[in-house]
Amino acid sequence: MSQTDSAPVLVTGATGRIGRLVIDQLLDAGVPVRALTRRLEAAAVLPPQVEVVTGDLTAPDSLEPALNGAGVVFLLWTAPPATAAEVVARLAARARRVVLLSSPHRTPHPFFQQPNPMAALHADLERLIAATGLESTVVRPGMFASNCLPWWAPAIRAGDVVRWPYAAAATAPVDDRDIAAVVARTLHQDGHVGGDYVLTGPESLTHAEQVAVIGDALGRRLAFDEMTPDEFRTLSQGAPSAAVEMLLAAWHAAVGQPAHVTTTVSDLLGTAPRTFRQWAADHASAFAKDS
């Protein structure tokens, strides 16, 4: 471990998918952790040795207790963008370094080059951080493997058919645990200032192939029934339409060519990235009919 001082790493998004796993990795490495949450109740899921601090990225003043005495900061932003500049200015004044969870919006593969409000926010955050001169590292995961839990687990628990758009859209799902391991490494190890890391899983798989892999993990044959984009829009009523259109555009662009695959996970960790087959085997219980 090279985080030489005893200042805690401040983890934002600490109670979410990636932040929660980053905390486990940091604790395993013996690094003191401070977790940001908007609500103390949400932090009940965190290990007891984590220092929990309340704060809200949409209310920059509220972040002062979290930033006071923090060393390196993991910044994960799912909040509205309006306060991004003020939050980054506070980080630059108080933190030693920041690791930003972004996305591969600079990768010239059509899947990553569609209209995408999240990517626009990530690009803004990167520009703001660069303009302050704060030392930084950017981690850019592609499609999280865990996305298929909310997408497909309800259908697979209920039956043997997944209805979804673009059977032939290819992605390289990256295991959340590999994302978190890379993030943790860049937080507690020296040598990552200026690092810009695009993370993917090890193989390109179409939606239909991903569903079949989940079926294999369950010992069941699952069918993929392709729905139209309009059917998907109807199914997604209630979700923000920008997010729905973002997904449809990206998937449409991902048909007919393999997904972009990088070796960054193994380059940085020295171990092969987990396959989607491994992810499915480890999460099979979430898709099982009796779960």
Q: Which residues of the shown chain bind ligand NAP in the complex (CB under 6 A)?
A: 12-19, 36-39, 42, 56-58, 76-79, 101, 103, 118, 141, 143-144, 147
Cβ nearer to ligand NAP, comparing 78 with 263: 78
User: How far apart are CB 201 and ligand NAP at their closest, in Å?
Assistant: 11
83 touches 60 (CB < 8 A):
yes
User: How far apart are CB 199 and ligand NAP at their closest, in Å?
Assistant: 9
Residue type at 95 in one-letter notation: A
Dihedral sign for Cα atoms in the order 41, 22, 140, 166: negative
Give CA 69 to chain center in angstroms.
26
198 touches 263 (CB < 8 A):
no
Give CA 185 to chain center in angstroms.
15
Cβ nearer to ligand NAP, comparing 31 with 36: 36
Cβ nearer to ligand NAP, comparing 3 with 12: 12
Cβ nearer to ligand NAP, comparing 38 with 252: 38
User: How far apart are CB 221 and ligand NAP at their closest, in Å?
Assistant: 27
User: How far apart are CB 92 and ligand NAP at their closest, in Å?
Assistant: 18
Q: Is 7 helix (H, G, I), strand (E, B) or coil?
A: coil
User: How far apart are CB 36 and ligand NAP at their closest, in Å?
Assistant: 6
Helices H / strands E in the chain, number of each: 11, 11
Which residue's Cβ has the minimum distance to ligand NAP? 16
